Structures are given as C-alpha cells and as structure tokens.
C-alpha cells in the first residue's frame, strides 16, 4: 500500500452539453468517464465521472467530469468540492453557450477562478471561424474578470494535446493547497454497494488525513462507521491526504444510511444545523426581486441539495451590486463549516441566481435588523482572520478559547492559528492564561464583573470579611469552567490590588468591615461571654438570644475569632487552638488518649470534651481508635 501526498490536485471540466468534455478526458487519461449505459446511449454525461493521470513534472492529478446538460446541474455542482483547476471546454464551432455561462457563474460563486480554456474540436473549423470564436471567448472572459490561456485542441486527432498538457503542468506547479485544521472531512458525492465488499462512498477529501483505523460519523444521520479500506485512483492506500479523490469501503453502515450530499468526518467534529448565516452575491443579470423574505429556494452545499426559506438580514430588498447577508432556514438539517461555499437556485422554475459562503454554520434565530449581528457578520465576511478571531472571542459565552477550538472555527491548522495568536498577543489584543486565549477587553470586562459580584456580596453581608472563594468560582462556572484558570485570574487581580485573597475568602480591594457602636458592643459581649468558660462552649441560641445584631456580628467573626463545634456550639478559636496544642503534645508523648485523660488534662467536662475531640478528628489532628484518640497526619 502507499500514501497519496497532500499536493494532490483536482481538475474539473466545465462547459456546455456535447462540447467534448468527456472525449477530452479520455484523450488525456485513457479513461471513459461515461460509465453507465444511459450515458453511452445518450452521448452525454449524467452522473459525475472520475479519471486520473500523471503530468510530466507533477505527480498524479485527478479529473472530475461534470455533466453539461442543464437538467443535471445538481450533479455538476456536486462534483466541484475541492477543485483546484478548471478546463473550460468550448466547442470551436459553437462558441459560448448557455451552460458555458452558467458553469462559469457557478465556479465564480464557489470561489474557483483558475482556468484553462479549451477550444475543442478545433480541426472541424477553419482559421476564420477559429479567430471569431477566440475573440468571442476573450470577450466573455473579460466580462467575467477571468485571466486564462485559450488553447485549440482536438481530442480525436490529437491536435494541441501536447501544448494543453504542458500548460496544465505549469498551472498545477503554481497551485498552493491551503492548510486546514487536520480533521478529515469528505463530502459524499456517490454511495453504492459492491457484493462481497458492502458500502462504498466517494468524494474529495476536503481536509485532514484519512487512515484505516478511524471511526467516522455520517452527518446529518449521526450513524457511525469504521473504515475497511481506502482507495485513491484505483489503488489501495494506507491513508489519504487532503485534496485527494477518495473511495472508502465502510463497515456497519448501509447505503440507505449514507447518501450523496452527506458528510463523513470524525465524531463531534461538526454539528448538524437547520439554519445558516451566509453572505450572498446576486448574479449581475438576475432580478433581485427573485429573492425576498420567505422566498423558497434550492440550496446546493457540497454534494447536497436542500430546500430552504430566505430571511434577508439588515435589508428589505436584495442589492445586486453589494454583498448581502441572509439567514437560510432549511427544511432538512445539514452539517457544514464556516467558509463552505453554496449556490442558490429559485425553487421553480430552477434558475441560478447567486451564492456565497457560510459565515456561521450554527446560528441562533436573529431579528432581521439587529445591528450587533450585522456587525459580526460583516467581520466574518471580511476574510480578515485576526478580526474574525477577535470577534469570535468577543461574542462567545465562554471567557476564551483554546487553540484547537479556534482552529476548528476558522478551519485552519493549529500551527497557523498559533502564529496568528502570537501576533495578537504581541499587539496586546489578546492575553494567554495558561492555554486559554482571551480577548484583552473581554478580560477587563470580566474583571469588572468579578468586582461587581464582590461588592454586591459585601452590600448584603457588610460584616463578613469576604465572599467564599469557592462560591465566587462556582458563580462564574459558565464563563470559566476551569477553576485553575479562575484562580490565575484572581491572583492577577490581587497583584493589581483590585481584590484581596484572604485564605478561603475573597474581598474587593478597598473593602473593610466596619462596626457601628451597637455592633462593637455586641462583639465585646460575645467575646466576654465565651471567655467566661472557654472549654464550655455554649450553643448559638443561648449566646445571642433574639439579638439580631449579635447574630450578625457572630456570623462575621466565624472562622476568624470563633469556631462552631458541630452545628450549634460556639467556641473561641484561641481557646480551641490552646487545647488542641495540649492534646497534640500529650499524644506525642503518650501515643493514645482516652476521654477521661482529656478531662484530667484540660479540666473540661465529658460532654464538652467529646465535642472538642470530635472537632479535632474532623480537622484531621486526631483519629479515634476504639475508645482512644491517636495522632492523625495533621497532628504529627
């Protein structure tokens, strides 16, 4: 077995029906892409055809033969995922025809602009006709802003074939494949079964690497399947790299469970959706009135056709001279990624009207004139990756994102995103907290939220030194789900004196507990009462009675000046610390202590002695062994 490299180039034919696309491919490759009886009988391509051959200075390239007839336009669009170069085939005797125009419009909407124009059947016309059709083609290319060589070729006689191959080789040398996020994704354009093998699917591997050990998930069905075998250009391979035309033999899945238009990828790589936010470009010769609020349309995504309703965003009427924003409400779920291209046709009659790219593959429903949403869509449509990163970080519910999350959103490699983030850190636009990337302005707002939360706590608990740290961290769990990250944020705020970290408590930087004269008196009374019999801790009710001020003061000094033994009894912390030291010193000498020995040592009654020893057990200073106490780890 072998591996096909990532520089695999995919070439597609385009052009009007019967202009010689299939014949040209057969002359180049020796492969007849009209594979069905119906195609051979009609003399036209109905389904997608695939072939491959070696260019002189480049490894093997794949060729997709798409249908030219308008009735099979859906099949034609299905074959255009991952195309790098287009052979635009024009019959030298007929020139530019309706499907020539439509195919070029589709290529434009899909972002494909790398062409070689092939004047086919060139031996069937005289020089004058050749000159006329060449001028016709040049005018057409100029009108569509296409810069492409025009070559006269006859696939039957071989005229111009060597020059065509030379130009193809030169074009291919200059094609640079973009790096993606490394997670395999393939748009299925054929699904069929072979006896003895089971289900086979084919398509262009858009990104990532496929190998035989992988478990894949079919979207939108959610069915999982294992790879049995991979073929590229009729050869069994261990793995397939991005950009290759790939056939995959799948286990544990029926052809009824995976069909043309489905997506194969790793589980959880993408989510199915019933809505898409997109930018939209109307073809210049089409009436904008064809597209309005709730217009029913046909959407072509990858190899899929879906019916949808249109919701224009920020506009009442589509502007043919500008990029527009739409929300497409789909009648079936799809699974796509940001940046995927789509085509729109009217529902009936089926007229190609425009297309664009997916800006948000999993949006919420929007109000049509929401300025915040329109601004976000404008940033996403700009193509400025740094601004898109900042917009994403700013508008997600979480405080920040990790590199793999950004790479998945942008559909770029981790390395490319890491370089971009490093630049943004240098520009002081983002901050790294461990492995979390956070927009600086969003972190500043988050710091203010923390301070607001602390001050609200202080207003309700004026006599408490601070808010329990765990309570504060839990409160922001939806924004920062990693407590270690939250600890680092709090430590940085403490360094800037914005907050105080008081052991298990947190307070605002300039907050301090202040007693009024009544609270001061209550404090004195509590301490005085507890000092009367330090080893006879009273219960809460006996200590404060019905005095609300005493209750408030007592709560404020718990953990600092007083402790609770169990739920009810209250003891001075200093008294507990003294008796704890006595017990620990005794155990270090004698190893064990009974309740009676505790009573003899401290003078405490049996009742209160039991309370104190149980509290020491709870803290880990001592441990009960039968009817005795021994030192625990904390007491050693």
Residue 245 has pLDDT above 90, yes or no: no
Q: CATH number for the 185-265 domain, one of 2.40.30.10, 3.40.50.300, 3.40.50.720, 2.60.40.10?
A: 2.40.30.10
Query: 273-375, what's its fold?
Result: Elongation Factor Tu (Ef-tu); domain 3 (2.40.30)
Give me the pLDDT at residue 81, please: 62
Map residue 445 onto helix, strand or coil: helix
What is the token pair recorded at 50? 């695939």
CA 560 to chain centre: 47
Map residue 47 onto helix, strand or coil: coil
* Cα(499)–Cα(455) distance, integer angstroms: 11
Give me the pLDDT at residue 312, please: 95
Reported as a pLDDT band with limits 50, 70 and 90, residue 69 is very low
Mean pLDDT along residues 131-143: 94
Query: 2-173, what's its fold?
Result: Rossmann fold (3.40.50)
Residue 1 has pLDDT above 70, yes or no: no
Q: What is the CATH number of domain 527-635?
A: 1.10.10.10
CA distances from 36 to 3, 24, 347 (A): 30, 18, 29
Long-range Cβ contact pairs of 348-352 (< 8 A, separation 24 or more): 350/73, 350/298, 351/286, 351/290, 352/73, 352/102, 352/105, 352/106, 352/283, 352/286
Query: 442-508, what's its fold?
Result: Arc Repressor Mutant, subunit A (1.10.10)
Residue 218: closest CA among 254, 265, 271: 265
Give me the pLDDT at residue 71, please: 45
CA distances from 153 to 62, 136, 140 (A): 20, 17, 19
Give me the pLDDT at residue 302, please: 83
CB 154 within 8 A of CB 163: no
Note the pLDDT tens digit of each residue in 21-32. 888 988 888 876
CB 227 within 8 A of CB 248: yes
Token look-up 């700009």 returns 382
Give me the pLDDT at residue 293, please: 93
Mean pLDDT along residues 319-343: 91
* Cα(204)–Cα(454) distance, integer angstroms: 55
Give me the pLDDT at residue 43, please: 33
Give me the pLDDT at residue 321, please: 82
Reported as a pLDDT band with limits 50, 70 and 90, residue 151 is very high
Give me the pLDDT at residue 310, please: 96
Q: What is the CATH number of domain 376-434?
A: 1.10.10
What does the radius of gyration of the chain's CA atoms come to, in whole angstroms? 37
Beta strands in 138-189 (DSSP E): 150-152, 185-187
Residue 40 has pLDDT above 70, yes or no: no
Residue count of the chain, please give it.
636
Give me the pLDDT at residue 46, please: 29
Torsions phi, psi for 246 (to 5 deg): -130, 140
CB 344 within 8 A of CB 298: yes
Q: 3-state SS of 227-283?
A: EEEEEECCEEEEEECCCCEEEEEEECCCHHHCCCCCEEECCCCCCCEEEEEEEEEEC
Mean pLDDT along residues 251-265: 90
Mean pLDDT along residues 331-344: 91
59-68, 305-314, 371-380: which is most confident: 305-314
- What's the count of helices (H) and strands (E) in the chain, helices before strands? 19, 32
**Torsion (CA) 336, 342, 344, 350 in degrees, nearest 10:** -90
β-pair partners for 198: 194
Residue 35 has pLDDT above 80, yes or no: no
Reported as a pLDDT band with limits 50, 70 and 90, residue 260 is confident
Considering the chain, tell me which residue range(s) the CATH 1.10.10.10 domain(s) occupy. 442-508, 527-635
* Cα(119)–Cα(134) distance, integer angstroms: 8
CB 385 within 8 A of CB 425: no
Neighbours of 323 (CB within 10 A): 14
Note the pLDDT tens digit of each residue in 502-543. 989 999 999 988 999 999 999 999 999 999 999 999 998 999
- DSSP annotation of 217 reads E
Which residues in 195-222 are b (16+ Cβ under 10 Å) and which e? eeeebbbbbbbbbbbbebebebbbbbbe
Residue 485: closest CA among 423, 417, 425, 432: 432
* Cα(582)–Cα(594) distance, integer angstroms: 14
CA distances from 566 to 324, 411, 527, 611, 616 (A): 67, 57, 19, 8, 11
* Cα(578)–Cα(535) distance, integer angstroms: 10
Residue 106 has pLDDT above 90, yes or no: no
Note the pLDDT tens digit of each residue in 576-585. 999 999 999 9
CA distances from 547 to 281, 518, 526 (A): 74, 11, 11
- pLDDT, averaged across the chain: 87
């Amino acid at each position: 077995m072998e591996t096909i490299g990532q520089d695999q180039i995919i070439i597609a034919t385009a052009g009007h029906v019967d202009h010689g696309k299939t014949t040209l491919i057969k002359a180049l490759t020796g492969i007849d892409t009209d594979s069905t009886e119906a195609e051979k009988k009609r003399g036209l391509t109905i389904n997608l055809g695939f072939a491959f051959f070696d260019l002189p200075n480049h490894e093997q390239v794949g060729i997709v033969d798409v249908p030219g007839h308008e009735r099979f336009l859906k099949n034609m669009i299905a074959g255009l995922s991952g195309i790098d170069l287009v052979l635009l085939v024009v019959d030298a005797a007929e020139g530019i025809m309706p499907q020539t125009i439509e195919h070029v419009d589709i290529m434009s909407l899909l972002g494909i602009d790398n062409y070689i124009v092939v004047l086919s059947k060139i031996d069937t016309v005289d020089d004058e006709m050749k000159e006329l059709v060449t001028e016709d083609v040049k005018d057409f290319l100029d009108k569509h802003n296409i810069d492409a060589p025009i070559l006269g070729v006859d696939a039957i006689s071989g005229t111009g074939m060597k020059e065509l191959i030379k130009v193809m080789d030169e074009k291919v040398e200059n094609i640079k494949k973009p790096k993606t996020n490394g997670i395999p994704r393939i748009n299925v354009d054929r699904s069929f079964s072979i006896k003895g093998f089971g289900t086979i699917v084919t398509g262009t591997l858009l990104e990532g690497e496929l190998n035989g050990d992988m478990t894949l998930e079919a979207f939108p069905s959610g069915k999982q399947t294992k790879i049995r075998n991979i073929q590229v250009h009729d050869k069994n391979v261990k793995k397939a790299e991005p950009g290759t035309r790939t056939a995959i033999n799948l286990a544990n899945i029926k052809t009824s469970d995976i069909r043309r238009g489905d997506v194969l990828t790793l589980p959880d790589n993408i989510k199915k959706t019933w809505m898409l936010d997109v930018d939209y470009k109307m073809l210049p010769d089409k009436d904008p009135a064809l597209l309005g609020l709730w217009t029913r349309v046909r959407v072509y995504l990858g190899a899929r056709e879906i019916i949808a309703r249109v919701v224009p965003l920020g506009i009442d009427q589509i502007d043919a001279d500008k990029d527009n924003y739409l929300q497409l409400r789909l009648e079936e779920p799809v699974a796509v990624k940001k940046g995927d291209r789509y085509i729109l046709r009217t529902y009936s009659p089926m007229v190609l009207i425009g297309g664009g790219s997916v800006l948000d593959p999993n949006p919420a429903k929007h109000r049509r004139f929401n300025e915040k949403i329109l601004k976000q869509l404008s940033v996403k449509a700009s193509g400025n990756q740094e601004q898109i990163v900042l917009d994403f970080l700013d508008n997600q519910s979480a405080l920040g994102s990790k590199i793999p999350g950004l790479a998945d959103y942008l559909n770029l490699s981790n390395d490319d995103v890491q370089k971009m983030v490093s630049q943004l850190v240098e520009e002081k636009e983002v901050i790294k907290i461990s492995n979390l990337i956070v927009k600086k302005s969003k972190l500043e707002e988050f710091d203010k939220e923390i301070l607001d939360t602390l001050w609200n706590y202080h207003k309700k608990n004026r006599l408490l030194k601070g808010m329990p740290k765990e309570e504060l961290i839990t409160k922001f769990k939806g924004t920062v789900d990693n407590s270690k990250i939250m600890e680092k944020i709090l430590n940085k705020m403490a360094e800037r004196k914005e907050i105080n970290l008081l052991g298990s408590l947190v307070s605002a930087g300039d907050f301090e507990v202040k007693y009024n004269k009544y609270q001061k008196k209550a404090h004195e009374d509590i301490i005085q009462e507890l000092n009367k019999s330090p080893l006879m801790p009273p219960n809460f009710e006996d200590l404060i009675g019905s005095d609300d001020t005493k209750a408030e003061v007592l709560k404020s000094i718990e953990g600092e000046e007083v402790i609770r033994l169990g739920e009810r009894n209250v003891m001075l912390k200093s008294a507990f610390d003294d008796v704890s030291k006595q017990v620990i010193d005794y155990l270090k000498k004698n190893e064990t202590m009974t309740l009676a020995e505790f009573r003899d040592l401290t003078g405490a009654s049996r009742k209160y002695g039991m309370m104190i020893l149980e509290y020491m057990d709870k803290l880990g200073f001592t441990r009960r062994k039968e009817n005795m106490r021994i030192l625990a780890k904390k007491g050693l």
